[in-house]
Amino acid sequence: KSYLSDNQMMDNLITLQRSDYKQTLIVENDYTVELTNKRITALSLSSNTLLKLKSTISITGNNLQRYNIVSISDCHDVKIVGGELRGDVGKHQYVEGSTSEWGFALYIYQSKNIVVKKLKTSLCTGDGVYISGGEESGIGVYDNASCDITLKQCVLYDLRREGISLVHADGVLIED
């Protein structure tokens, strides 16, 4: 049994990552992370990372308008295999005047060569997977769009908004 909180364990996973060489993170225990205005992401991944998720990462009920359970931002060559990312629908404290529709299980932003296999996402106030990039620079042209993204055998269910949002993306394969 660990004497560290679930938040501290996620912080350790973030600290252990180095984007300058290939690494594998294996998460075998279930974790429930408390998100706050100072911490809107449970786990951020770096480039050249393989995350083998053999468990569930959940978040506690919160009042955030925006959160990410796992974030891949400005990265390349990241792979996630297995596991579940579970949001806080049913426990979320909605703020008056806010839709809280920006709560994502997996957030991919300005990243390339990303593979996600056999991941389950559920109970987020927004989308299961949100893929985006930079600003629109003309009709149908986006600077810094996420590219070469593959989602295979993923199950996206019980989400408040959508399973997948492709906002700024180039070269996305969604299979099974």
pLDDT one-digit tens code per residue, 114-134 = 999 999 999 999 999 999 987
Confidence band, pLDDT 50/70/90 cuts, at residue 21: confident
Of 13-17, 26-30, 31-35, 138-142, least confident by mean pLDDT is: 138-142
Distances in Å between the alpha carbon of 75 and those of 71, 138, 146? Answer: 10, 24, 9
| Cα–Cα distance measured from residue 9 to residue 4, given in angstroms and rounded to the nearest whole number | 6
Mean pLDDT computed over 39-45: 96
pLDDT of 139 above 70 = no
Mean pLDDT computed over 71-77: 97
Residue linked to tokens 């180039």:
170
